[in-house]
Amino acid sequence: MKLFFTLLIFFYSLGGYSQSQNEKLAYKYYSGKQYEKAVTLYADLHKSSPEKRFYGPLLKSYLFLERYKEAQKLVKVHIKKNPERIEFNIDLGNVYESEKKESKATQAYDNTIKLMIPNVNSILAVGNRFYQKGKYDYAIKAYKKGAKLLNGDYPFSFELAKVYEAKGDLTNMSKVLIGIVHYSDEYLESVKGAISTLFYNDIGRKKKSIFKDELLTQVQKHPSKTALTELLIWFFLQEKKFNSALIHSKALDKRNEEAGNRIAKLAKTCIQNKEYEIAVKAYNYLLKKDKGSYFYRVARTKLVEVLNIKITEDPQSTNEDILRLKQNYEDALNELGRNAYTIDLIAGYAQLLAFKLNQTEKAKQELESALKIARAQPQEIANCKLILGDIYVKENEVWEAALLYGQVNQDFKEDIIGHKAKLRTAKAYFYTGEFEWAKSQLDVLKASTTKLIANDALQLSVLISDNLGMDTSTAALKIYALADLYKFQNNDSLAIVACNNVLDSFPENITLLDDAYFMKAKIYTQNKKWDLALESYQKAVEYNDLLKDDALFEMGVIYQNILNSPNKAIKCFEEIVLEHQDSFYSVEARKNYRTLRGDFKNAE
């Protein structure tokens, strides 16, 4: 008896193995369009195990081979065995249609609609099968009848939108998507997801244009429907139309008598996208709130910070701009006071005093007082320590700076601000000629989650490695490090002299020469000496080393934003796009390249 069962199990397993092999072979033939071979295997598989996974490819194989009688028989068997599976009637209609029996096909499709029952899964199966077969009008009928059968409990709007999109009926697609928000505010996020999917491939932006017009119409018709306006604001943000988003955000803020959170969030988004003018508009709007409100204080603080960013990033900014910014800081601090809430404002003010106005003593006093403020957030205190450390470096008190950087790194080892501190520490040791120790810190930072920190750490680490590995002494690297320190301290003339020293005294040190030219170019850029900057950047490019893509990007920016030479700018950005795909600047270069080429002219 035991032997009998053992043999039974063996032969059963052998049969299963054989079926598995036949299934793989059938799929191979089917995917290779060898339907004559596939249909034989699938027919045997379906006969022994009439599972759904065999039904589909067997039916399609019959149709490809125009064996319509066998296809009809297969479908009718499944209809008889599964009367609740109404969608099989669509397959029968599809067989008739393949035979050019249009009236029978129409009858089968109509019969499917008549047989529908108030069951969500069944309705979805019918609608989806019509959609798969390209019978879009029937799919629409199915979903609409399904909604009626369920008494409006589920409108099948997402499914209808997908069908309308496939049909090319973009107006109804838009109306259905917007209708979902009318149906329930709870679907707002789902609608955003559906839009992102349906509009992914929107050549000519026709879908977005029609949707925007329909949504604007609905917002005007239903101004009290907050979710519709929120959808419109979101849509404008996806389109990078920040001013339009602000207009409607302000309208919503007023209508709902909101505190200002919506506007503050939008302003932050604008800053992240370098839309500073619109961020200023947003904060100015918030300044009209009650002076005792939280968002008034947010706006009063952030407005100064935005002005600081604008001046810092604007190569055309003047000393008068810096003095106006200083006055803005002082006015804000006098109004809001020096407290835990304004500590970031104090930090920005101190940085301005030290590095733009050379008032280091006053800057240190501000920061040392800030470090004593009660209830200040630990990260804000850490930021003050970093800026204070930077001032010590400016004053050649490098070891005092390293001590402060070390404290921040110790307190925030796994945080971005801790990584910033570690990078500053490494640079401090680099300035003093402790290259091995500096490199050990930089190698850790190369794995930083912050791309900018990782990129800076990589470049300096490679620079040290290349020069420590040379047979000569580290004299050239020490002079370069001194030049870097001078540059940080805003001692531009001394930095230029040190760079020239490297270039003149160590012409054989190929690995360092592009860095020296690049540093000179940065200094010339900061001082608005554009021709000298371009000349030095071009020298850095010609060495074809690690800084080539950096130099190309900086040249492109000067040509684009300063000298109004779009053709020259395009060449710089194009070279990054084509030859430096892994560059830190690749995304921004591609964006600038496409903008200059005119790819976004029809974006509006």
pLDDT tens, position by position, 58-104: 889 888 988 999 989 999 989 998 889 999 999 999 999 999 999 99
For residue 230, what are the contacts with CB-CB under 8 A and spacing of at least 6? 188, 252
CATH number of 531's domain: 1.25.40.10
Domain co-membership, 387 together with 472 = no
- Would you say residue 527 lies in a domain? yes
CA 272, 232, 204, 163 dihedral sign is: positive
Domain co-membership, 390 together with 464 = no
Instruction: Quote the pLDDT of residue 4.
Output: 40
Q: Which of 345, 367, 395 is the last residue of a domain?
A: 395
The answer to whether residues 289 and 260 touch, using CB atoms and an 8 Å cutoff, is yes
- Percent of the chain exceeding pLDDT 70 equals 94
Average pLDDT for 229-251: 96
Q: How confident is the model at residue 546 (pLDDT cuts 50, 70, 90)?
A: confident
- Would you say residue 144 lies in a domain? no
Q: What confidence tens digit (pLDDT) does each residue in 201-236 have?
A: 888 889 999 999 999 999 999 999 999 999 999 999
Least confident interval from 38-47, 302-311, 545-554, 567-576: 38-47
Q: How confident is the model at residue 472 (pLDDT cuts 50, 70, 90)?
A: low
CATH number of 390's domain: 1.25.40
- Percent of the chain exceeding pLDDT 90 equals 74
- Would you say residue 364 lies in a domain? yes
Domain co-membership, 475 together with 358 = no
- Would you say residue 291 lies in a domain? no
Average pLDDT for 431-452: 87
Mean pLDDT across the chain, nearest whole number? 90
- Would you say residue 22 lies in a domain? no
Closest CA to 421 of 390, 397, 398: 390
Q: What confidence tens digit (pLDDT) does each residue in 149-162 have?
A: 999 888 999 999 99
Tokens of 243: 């001013």
Average pLDDT for 121-131: 96
Q: How many Å apart are CA 502 and CA 536, to the nearest integer?
A: 14
Instruction: Quote the pLDDT of residue 290.
Output: 92
Instruction: Quote the pLDDT of residue 469.
Output: 67
Q: Which of 395, 413, 446 is the last residue of a domain?
A: 395
- Would you say residue 471 lies in a domain? yes
Closest CA to 159 of 178, 173, 175, 145: 173
Instruction: Quote the pLDDT of residue 17.
Output: 44
pLDDT of 8 > 80? The answer is no
Domain count, the chain: 2
Least confident interval from 31-40, 284-293, 300-309: 31-40
The answer to whether residues 279 and 267 touch, using CB atoms and an 8 Å cutoff, is yes
Q: Residues 576-588, buried b or exposed e (16+ Cβ, 10 A)?
A: bbeebeebbbbee
Helix-strand-coil split of the chain, %, nearest 5: 80, 0, 20
Average pLDDT for 17-38: 77
- Would you say residue 531 lies in a domain? yes
Domain co-membership, 489 together with 588 = yes
Q: Which of 395, 417, 452 is the last residue of a domain?
A: 395
pLDDT of 471 > 90? The answer is no
Average pLDDT for 252-262: 95
Domain co-membership, 469 together with 591 = yes
Instruction: Quote the pLDDT of residue 19.
Output: 54
Instruction: Quote the pLDDT of residue 186.
Output: 93
Domain co-membership, 492 together with 376 = no
Closest CA to 78 of 89, 67, 70, 68: 89
Q: What confidence tens digit (pLDDT) does each residue in 486-541 have?
A: 999 999 999 999 999 999 999 988 889 999 999 999 999 999 999 999 999 999 99
C-alpha torsion 4→5→8→12, nearest 10: -170
Q: How many Å apart are CA 542 and CA 115, to the nearest integer?
A: 75
Tokens of 304: 């100064």
* Structural domain boundaries, residue 533: 460-597
Domain co-membership, 593 together with 474 = yes
Q: How many Å apart are CA 141 and CA 109, to the nearest integer?
A: 11
The answer to whether residues 511 and 544 touch, using CB atoms and an 8 Å cutoff, is no
CA angle 404, 406, 407 (to 5 degrees): 65
pLDDT of 14 > 50? The answer is no
- Would you say residue 271 lies in a domain? no
Domain co-membership, 465 together with 539 = yes
